[in-house]
Amino acid sequence: MSASLIGKRIVLGVTGSIAAYKAVALLRLLVQAGAEVQVVLTESASRFIAPLTFEVLSGHPVVQDLFAGHQDMKHLSVTEQADLLLVTPCTANTLAKLALGLADNLLGTVALTIQCPLIICPAMDGEMWEHPTVQGHVTGLRGRGVMILEPETGALASGQWGKGRLPDEAVIFEEVCNVLVKGRDLQHERLLISAGPTQEPLDPIRFLSNGSTGKMGYALAEAAIARGAEVVLVSGPTQLKVPRGVSLFPVQTAEDMLRALTAHFHWATTLIMTAAVGDFRPKQALSQKLKKEQWDGAALQLERTPDILLALSAQRTHQRMIGFAAETDHLLEHGQAKLAQKHLDMLVVNQIGGNQSAFGNNTNEVHVLTPHNPPRFMPRQTKRQLAGKILDCMLDLPPVHLAQPTVLHKSHTG
């Protein structure tokens, strides 16, 4: 958390959500990083947290009432030279106001006068978040270039489990830094990202697959888009929402994935292979469903799926190639071997198995390996945070200039 926000002016809008207390910790991070923060509270927000807390921590009086400061046109002066308007937590009510351009309080009015980027971090009950009206507002705002940080799934204040939780302050802080510091540093990058599991059919209804959920690849795609990259995402079956601006190519088998990646490989500046590609497939997929009793004692004949990295390496001209390895043990040893074997520029190694398995979790810890530097350990954090740091490492890689495409020896691909 070392980014400097010195010289940055942020308007922090806080609304009447149970998560309003989290805005206090975020304010501390912003101020510690050197930002000048002006807090705007809605009437409801001040019923959750007293303005005094924000005043002490920001060093500025909180502004709240549209009519109280009419002499100095507070709704206009607050936003003067602001670099960012950050609304967190944002209630369903304020989200609707921002989407519709309602200006019946100071925050709504301020939002209509700003010229700077707007980040909204919604927080609400899961059913409210999923409501078509709320989703319609989210779509409308995104369509106008507003950044919406998706709420997280977890235990909600209502006692229910669902999507609607405000992300931790560190995640929001990271997003702010992405916008204010990193800006659009990936605007010349074209990222080809693979994600999710592959499925290899046994018969029309059964398949061989694995427990990958695709969260890491989707987080990378979202982080890259936020920093100005063009992104093509080749994804196996997942339940995830495709980040706005990403071109999605859905696939099922390893063969399909190879085909889709090959089609975009020459376009890409970087390939990031997060997909958990199945190593084996049934030698023959049955065209009809086999009855239960027919499986008794049946032996499954398997064959290797195509080695995607090997195939793409053979066509490589200028692309950076970044791999992911999922290991249960000897992480660094196995990782170093794969990095060398596949001639990768970078390999991100994560652990699978156990409670903290990389598969399915929203958080992860990884080792980043590159050919000429010592391994870099990234401690447990959200996949979205890791994505930002992995993209930073990608930018540090030396440029690739190959006289000839690399030809690799066939070996096991993860």
Ligand X SMILES: Cc1cc2nc3c(=O)[nH]c(=O)nc-3n(C[C@H](O)[C@H](O)[C@H](O)COP(=O)(O)O)c2cc1C
- Selected from 24, 44, 103, 343, the binder of ligand X by CB under 6 A is 44
- Closest approach of ligand X to the CB of residue 163, in Å: 13
Q: In the complex with ligand X, which residue's Cβ is closer, 104 or 329?
A: 104
- Closest approach of ligand X to the CB of residue 138, in Å: 13
Residue 91 binds to ligand X (criterion: CB under 6 A)? yes
The two beta strands, 207-208 and 200-201, are antiparallel
Q: Of 122-130, 173-181, 259-267, 354-362, which part binds ligand X (CB under 6 A)?
A: 122-130
- Residue 99, classified by CB atoms within 10 Å of its CB into exposed (0-12), middle (13-18) or buried (19+), is buried
- Selected from 5, 23, 78, 92, the binder of ligand X by CB under 6 A is 92
- Give the distance from CA 135 to its chain's centroid: 19
- Selected from 8, 10, 12, 17, the binder of ligand X by CB under 6 A is 17
Write down the catalytic residue from 93, 210, 361, 362. Answer: 210
Beta bridge partners of 235: 195, 250
- Closest approach of ligand X to the CB of residue 14, in Å: 8
Q: In the complex with ligand X, which residue's Cβ is closer, 11 or 192?
A: 11
Burial 364-397 (b: 16+ CB within 10 A, else e): bebbbbbeeeebeebeebbbbbbbbbbbebbeee
CA dihedral 374, 375, 381, 387 (to 10 degrees): 90
The answer to whether 350 and 325 are in contact (CB under 8 A) is: yes
Q: Give the interface size with ligand X as a residue count (CB under 6 A).
A: 15
Q: Of 86-94, 215-223, 333-341, 382-390, which part binds ligand X (CB under 6 A)?
A: 86-94
The rounded distance, in Å, linking the Cα atoms of 151 and 163 is 6
362 included as an active-site residue: no
Element (H, E) at 365: strand 363-370
Q: Of 38-46, 218-226, 261-269, 354-362, which part binds ligand X (CB under 6 A)?
A: 38-46
Residue 385 binds to ligand X (criterion: CB under 6 A)? no
Least Cα distance to 225 among 5, 393, 391 occurs for 391
Residue 15 binds to ligand X (criterion: CB under 6 A)? yes
Binding site for ligand X (CB under 6 A): 15-19, 42, 44-45, 91-94, 123-124, 128
